[in-house]
Amino acid sequence: MPTINNIATDAQEKAARLGIKKFDIYGSTVDENSVQVDRGAPKQVKASNRSSVIVRVWNEDQTMGVTSTTDVDPSGLELALKTAYEASFFGVKENVPDFSPEASAPIADKSDEKAPQAPVSELLESLLEAEKELLSAHPAIKGVPYNGLAQRDIDRFYLNSDGAIRNEARSYASIYLYSKTEEEGRKPRSGGAFRISRSLEQLDINGCLKETVEKTISHLNYEKVKSGKYRVVFSPEAFLSLLGAFSNLFNAQNILDKQSLSTPESLGTKIASPLLSVCDDALHPDNVAAETFDGEGTPTRRVSLITDGVLTGFLHNSGTAKRLNAQPTGHANIGAKVSVGSHFYHVFPGAAASQEYSLANAENVILIDDLQALHAGVKALQGSFSLPFDGWLVENGKLTSIESATVAGDFLELLQSILFVEKEPELTPGGVCPRVWVDGLSITGE
């Protein structure tokens, strides 16, 4: 596979030959091994080594075209440059994307963190052991139908014809376990957990195992819940998944495209309870998948989105920042249309709460552990959601698993109805967040 310097040199040569003066390239290579097991035997082992690049080209009229390719040898790059040049004549004529003004700005904390990859046999051994322990943890656990252990090296780079060039490398290891129960006369129940870390050595396999067992067993004795309005407590993971589903609130490109619940004028308005504060922080020390620059080469950073309930910031690429008279924030994904995406949410308490709540003495409260089917149940442009969930009914601190139910509401109303943001944060793959209490959500059970 060519090195980044090879790609830069080849691209410059090919561009010069094609008469292309302005271009940039974002690319990555992924080297990955993953394993799955099934009842004491390896099920499938996967390995891959793949590269891909996105090439943007500006023509003489300064309109831009793009092409992505997995063929990164010189002939593949040449074809991509040619195709992007052809596409450039159909590019937008207003608000044409340009190089980020920060594509060469210094990156404060740049460090390559690749860990040596463990042999596949070690991955298999670890996962087989985890499956065995899970199956022996409780007689009702009859299978672990979804499981996987993976390790991945990622190299990313950005370069442009003005001489900007950046690259970084990272390693990750991750595990997921999802077990299923079977008991005579009872419905099958399930529970799962996920962990990610910088290396297999640091991966908390035991924590994942323990959480899977606890969750699965906690759902064995289930009951129906009556439909109605409830006080709901979202687990960190559940709240972050809902926040992510409505990220158009903060997404400057969505806002400019009128595909958002916010408008440019929403900045500075109160959109949530003053108890809530939210940042997006790619460089958070707990973010295992931290990226130091985005698809346009802009350095990533911490961005305040909601402060004490007030909308205080948007996520930008260089184009949206220019149009909204702001600074790029390092959230660009390049393409024919540069999109914007979040990195790692940090949710924390805002203003001091007048009253604190605890599950230990909660009555008739629903604790939602995991929201499902967000792709089907979230209407991101309408602000509404109706989602199945895994969770418990809490009565005086006692948790009873809920057989099957959905939670529905309006996300903007939910933000205003936050009663309490707990102090103790939890680390999840998507961010750091404590439990969040919300009043008056519709639950459909029986």
Partner 1 sequence: MHSTLLISRELPTLQYTSTPERFDETWSAPLATLLGLGRAAGADFIEFFLERVNYISCLAEDDIISSIAPRLSRGAGVRVFRGKADCYVSTNDLSFSGLKSALEKGLSILGLQLPSENAYIPEINLEPLRDYATLKEKDAWLSKCSSMREMGEVLLDANSQLKLKASHVQSRRAVYFRDWQEVLVVSSDGTNARDIRLTQSVGYNLLCADGAHRSSIAKRVGDTSDPGFLRSWDYESNAEEVAIAAGQMLYADYVESGTYPIIMANQFGGVIFHEACGHLLETTQIERNTSPFADKKGEKIAHENLTAWDEGLSSTAFGTIDMDDEGMPAQRTLLIEKGILKNFIADRAGSLHTGHPRTGSGRRQSYAFAAASRMRNTYIAPGDYTNEDLFASIDKGIYCKKMGGGSVGATGQFNFGVDEAYLIENGKITKPLKGATLIGEAKEIMNKISMSSNDLALAAGFCGSISGSIYVTVGQPHIKVDSITVGGR
8-37 residues in contact with partner 1 (CB under 8 A) are 33
Q: Tell me the closest approach of the beta carbon of residue 346 to partner 1, in angstroms.
A: 29
Q: Is 330 in the site for partner 1 (CB under 8 A)?
A: no
**CA distances for 68 relative to 58, 81, 198, 281, angstroms:** 15, 9, 28, 28
Check binding of 80 to partner 1 (CB under 8 A): yes
Q: Show the binding pattern over residues 369-388: x = contacts partner 1 (CB under 8 A), - = does not.
A: ---xx-xxx-x-xxxx-xxx
Using the rule CB under 8 A, give the single segment among 201-209, 254-262, 273-281, 429-437 that binds partner 1.
Answer: 254-262
Please state, in angstroms and rounded to a whole number, the distance separating the CA atoms of residues 220 and 80. Answer: 55
**Residue 212 makes contact with partner 1 by CB under 8 A:** no
Both tokens assigned to 268: 């500075």
Should residue 257 be labelled a site residue for partner 1 when binding is judged by CB under 8 A? yes
Q: Which stretch binds partner 1 (CB under 8 A): 7-15, 133-141, 402-410, 416-424?
A: 402-410
Residue 54 Cβ, how far from partner 1 at the closest point, in Å? Answer: 9
Q: Which tokens is 304 given?
A: 């305040």
Looking at the Cβ atoms of 199 and 404, the one nearer to partner 1 is: 404
Q: State the minimum distance, in angstroms, from the CB of residue 289 to partner 1.
A: 19
For residue 268, the Cα-to-chain-centroid distance in whole angstroms is 26
- 371 vs 422: CA distance, rounded Å: 19
The two structure tokens encoding residue 241: 């998944």
Candidate residues 264, 335, 341, 429; the one interacting with partner 1 per rule CB under 8 A: 335
Nearer to partner 1, 67 or 292 (CB): 67
Give the residue carrying structure tokens 């230990």: 360
Amino acid at 1: M
Binders of partner 1 among residues 353 to 372 (CB under 8 A) are 372
Instruction: Collect all residues with Cβ–Cβ distance below 8 Å to 347 and sequence separation of at least 6.
Output: 236, 239, 240, 243, 276, 277, 278, 421, 425, 431, 432, 433, 434, 436
Q: Is 84 in the site for partner 1 (CB under 8 A)?
A: yes
Question: HEC states along 373-394?
Answer: CHHHHEECCCCEEEEEEEEEEE
Stretch that binds partner 1, among 181-189, 210-218, 317-325, 346-354 (CB under 8 A): 181-189
